[in-house]
Structures are given as C-alpha cells and as structure tokens.
C-alpha cells in the first residue's frame, strides 16, 4: 500500500431541486460569470433554475464553450473576466465546460502567458485560482469533484492537461433530473468514460490496497448494472442518480490513493480525439482492450481478479480468466453501442500509430503507463492493435 495524501474540499449538493440552494453557497457580493456550452441548458430548464436561484446576485453570462474546450474560445472568456473584474465563476455544463472554467480560474490570476499553464504545466495552489463552482449537466468526466482539467488547441492539434490543489470546485450540484434530456449517445459516452477512469486506476500490477480495489470494483459493477436502466427511454431517477454518482466517484481521487495508476489509455486516446474528433470516451474504448492485451503479463493477475469479482467468472486459470475479462469489457462497450476498433470510426487510420509515436516522442513522453516504461514505440504497437 503506497503512501498517499488525500484532500478533497469540494462540497457536493446531490439530488432533485438542489440547484435552488446555490445562492447560499456563493458570497452575496460576488460578481459571478456563469459559463455554459451550446445552449442545451436553455432547453432542459437548468438555465432558468440557475437564473432564478441567483436573482439577488450580480450575474453575467458567457455561452458557447464547445466540447473538448478550445483555447481560442477560452481566451475570449478570460478577456471578459479581466475586463469586468469577475470574482466568481460558475460552470453550468458537462466536463468540457467545467474543464474550461478550471483553466479560466487558474489563468485569471496567473501573470504569465495563459498557454504556459498547459505547455509547461503550472500546478495551481490554494488561493491562486479564482473561486468557482459547477452545476453538472452531463455526468462523465468527474471534473466536478477533482482539481484537474484538459484543454484542446485546434491550431496545434494538442490536447493537454493541468491542475493543482487550488482547482477544486467550491461546490458542485449533481441533480439526476438533468439526465432526462441527455441524448443516449452522450449517456453511453459518460458510462464508458467513467468506466475507463476506474480501469486506469485499477488495471495494473497487483496492489495491496485491498479496500481501494474493492471500491473500484464496486463502481465498475454499479456502472454495469445501471447502464441498461439509463440507456432505456423510461427515465429512472434512482438509476440516473447511481450513474451520476459513479461518474463522480470514478475520478474524485479516492480510488487512486495507495495504488499504482496507469493513464496511458488516456494519453493515446487524446491523440485520436485530436486527429479525428472521435468522442473522448470512444477513444478510450478503442485503446483500452489493446493496451491490456499488449501489457498482458503485467496486468493478467488484476485482469483475472476483475474477471472473478466484477464479472463472476470462476472457470479457467489466471490467463484464461484475464482473456475472458478483456472480452467481457469489449462486450460491455458494445452493449452501449460503442465500437472498440479504430477502423469503426475512420477510414483514415492506417498511419495513426506513426502519428502517435511521433507526437509522444516530440513531447518527450518516453515512459508512460503504470511503470513509466511504456515507450512511444509501445504506443505505436498498441494503437496498431486497435485498428
């Protein structure tokens, strides 16, 4: 069991109607900028609920933050924040909006060139960021209860991450009712994203952090059981609530404490999004099975444990259980109508492995994965296996 530090000060307000409580959570004298995406919050009622809850506050708006938040849009918001002396940011949206707001929170008080926060990641410490909160409308990334974020820059085809202990939301509202109006494709993405977040912190060499592993397995099982209920047309509040809470718990820091983590699947997946615009979650479903097959010897014991505890597979030896587990994982993604081969998404995939190898080499990412020894050449082979 590895040493760890854990601190997560984000306050969660979970459940139906909780948006109405946010006026008590934000200082009365705050100058708030509410930031949102493409406008779906105006159709599902969330926009009106926020406006109503904050009618006594000084509230400004900035809409139009796209999926995979782009630097070019965010610098415009940054300009607005500085010009209008905004003191509090409120992200209303999914992971893209929340990540964008984290970048803005970090950049607002940062005196250097904003892109440097990403280019040579600057950890934002407590007190260095503008206070912000989130109202989650699309469960997936877990960004509502952690201090990390990912930003894209179209002009350079880059997707880079940063964070720091100063970038936890002050509070996040999780109202499962928002799931009523989410398209099934995006719900499937959310499930696959959260599922892979757990895998990145679990599917490693054996750890001795027994409770953390069991909590990870609990999230996987709960996502599997909840998935068919939230993928039907009939809204089920409790299933929606479980789905939403699983997404948060998958990446709020808890299950990574005391264990080895990997994250190479994300590193490779981000490239596929940058090149082809494939949904983030779907890139993970493409890469994960190949990653586990390629690193089978390191991961087979944990794969077998996953087979036994999560999929109740009791037949076979370690290798057989481990192989069965990868197939079960693929079947689970397929049950969400998510394909697991790169060729399912683009015809222009033949040179992808070379592009990923080159990008990792240029960025000096020479040792990824759980043992920091996965080379750009390994990434080439894994991406090639995913064709």
**Residue with tokens 């779907």, as numbered in its chain:** 282
Q: How far is the CB of 171 from a copy of itself (least distance, A)?
A: 8
Residue 84 is a binding residue for a copy of itself (CB under 8 A): no
* Alpha-carbon dihedral sign for residues 115, 118, 119, 122: positive
Point out which span in 7-15, 76-84, 279-287, 347-355 binds a copy of itself (CB under 8 A). Answer: 7-15
Minimum distance from residue 275 beta carbon to a copy of itself (Å): 35
Q: Which of 180, 197, 386 is nearest to 278 (CA)?
A: 386
Query: How many CA atoms lie within 13 Å of 259's alpha carbon, on the beta-carbon side?
Result: 28
Nearer to a copy of itself, 10 or 49 (CB): 10
Q: How far is the C-alpha of 128 from the C-alpha of 304, rounded, in Å?
A: 44
Closer by beta carbon to a copy of itself, 261 or else 361: 261
CB under 8 Å, gap of 24 or more: what pairs does 28-31 form?
28/56, 28/57, 29/58, 30/57, 30/58, 30/87, 30/88, 30/131, 31/58, 31/60, 31/84, 31/85, 31/86, 31/87, 31/88
d(CA 318, CA 208): 18
- Phi/psi of residue 251, each to 5°? -145, 40
Closest by CA position to 124, among listed 106, 138, 146:
106
The footprint of a copy of itself on this chain (CB under 8 A) covers a number of residues equal to 43
C-alpha–C-alpha distance, residues 250 and 142, integer Å: 7
Q: Does 4 bind a copy of itself (CB under 8 A)?
A: yes
Question: Residue 204 carries which DSSP code?
Answer: S
Q: Which is nearer to a copy of itself, 99 or 217 (CB)?
A: 217
Pick the binder of a copy of itself from 62, 245, 332, 380 (CB under 8 A).
245
Q: Which two tokens stand for residue 348?
A: 């222009």
Closest distance to a copy of itself from the beta carbon of 6 (Å) = 4
Cβ at position 87, least distance to a copy of itself in Å: 20
Show the site string, 251-290: x = touches a copy of itself by CB under 8 A, - = not: ------xx--------------------------------
Nearest approach, Cβ of residue 1 and a copy of itself (Å): 4
Name the residue nearer to a copy of itself (CB basis): 17 or 316. 17
Q: How far apart are CA 173 and CA 297, in angstroms?
A: 42
Q: Which string of x and - marks every residue 12-31 that binds a copy of itself (by CB under 8 A)? A: xxxxxxx-------------
Q: What's the min distance (Å) between Cβ of 183 and a copy of itself?
A: 23
Exactly one of 53, 246, 304, 379 binds a copy of itself (CB under 8 A); that residue is 246
Specify the residue, 141 or 273, whose C-beta has the smaller distance to a copy of itself: 141
Which residue, 4 or 331, is less far from a copy of itself as judged by CB? 4
Residue numbers 185-244 binding a copy of itself by CB under 8 A = 208-212, 214-215, 217-219, 221-222, 225-226, 237-238, 241-242
Q: Minimal distance in Å, beta carbon 202 to a copy of itself?
A: 13
Closest to 189 (Cα-Cα) out of 302, 94, 315? 94
Distance in Å from the first CA to the final CA of the chain: 37
Shortest Å distance, C-beta 314 to a copy of itself = 12
Choose among 259, 326, 258, 328: nearest CA to 287.
326
Pick between residue 30 and residue 385 the one whose CB is nearest to a copy of itself: 30
* CB of residue 97 to a copy of itself, shortest distance in Å: 22
Exposed / middle / buried, residue 262 (Cβ in 10 Å: 0-12, 13-18, 19+)? buried
Residues that bind a copy of itself (CB under 8 A): 1-18, 171, 176, 208-212, 214-215, 217-219, 221-222, 225-226, 237-238, 241-242, 245-246, 249, 257-258
């Amino acid at each position: 069991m590895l040493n760890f530090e854990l601190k997560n000060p984000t306050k969660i307000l979970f459940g139906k109607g909780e948006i109405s409580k946010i006026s008590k959570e934000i200082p009365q004298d705050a100058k708030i900028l509410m930031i949102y995406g493409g406008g779906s919050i105006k159709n599902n009622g969330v926009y009106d609920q926020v406006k109503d809850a904050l009618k006594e506050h000084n509230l400004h708006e900035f809409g139009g933050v796209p999926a995979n938040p782009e630097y070019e849009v965010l610098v415009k918001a940054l300009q607005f924040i500085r010009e209008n002396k905004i003191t509090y940011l409120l992200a209303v949206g999914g992971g893209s909006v929340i990540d964008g707001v984290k970048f803005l929170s970090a950049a607002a008080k940062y005196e250097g060139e904003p892109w440097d926060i990403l280019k040579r990641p600057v950890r934002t410490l407590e007190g260095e960021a503008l206070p912000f909160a989130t109202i989650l409308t699309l469960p997936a990334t877990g960004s509502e209860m952690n201090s990390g974020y990912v930003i894209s820059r179209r002009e350079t085809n880059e997707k880079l991450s940063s964070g720091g202990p100063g970038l936890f939301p002050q509070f996040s509202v999780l109202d499962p009712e928002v799931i009523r109006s989410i398209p099934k494709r995006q719900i499937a993405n959310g499930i696959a994203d959260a599922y892979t977040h757990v895998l990145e912190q679990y599917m490693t060499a054996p750890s001795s952090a027994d409770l953390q592993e069991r909590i990870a397995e609990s999230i996987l099982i709960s996502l599997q059981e909840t998935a068919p209920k939230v993928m039907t047309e009939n809204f089920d509040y409790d299933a929606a609530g479980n789905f939403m809470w699983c997404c948060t718990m998958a990446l709020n820091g808890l299950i990574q404490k005391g264990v080895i983590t990997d994250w190479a699947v994300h590193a490779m997946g981000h490239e596929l999004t940058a090149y082809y615009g494939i949904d983030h979650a779907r890139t993970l479903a493409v890469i994960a099975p190949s990653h586990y097959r390629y690193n089978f010897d390191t991961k087979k014991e944990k794969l077998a444990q996953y087979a036994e505890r999560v999929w109740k597979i009791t037949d076979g030896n370690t290798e057989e259980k481990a192989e069965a587990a990868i197939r079960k994982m693929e079947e689970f993604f397929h049950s969400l109508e998510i394909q697991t081969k790169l060729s399912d998404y683009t015809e222009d995939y033949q040179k992808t492995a070379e592009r990923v190898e080159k990008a990792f080499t240029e960025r000096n990412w020479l040792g990824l994965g759980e043992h920091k020894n996965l080379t750009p050449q390994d990434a080439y082979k894994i991406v090639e296996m995913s064709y």
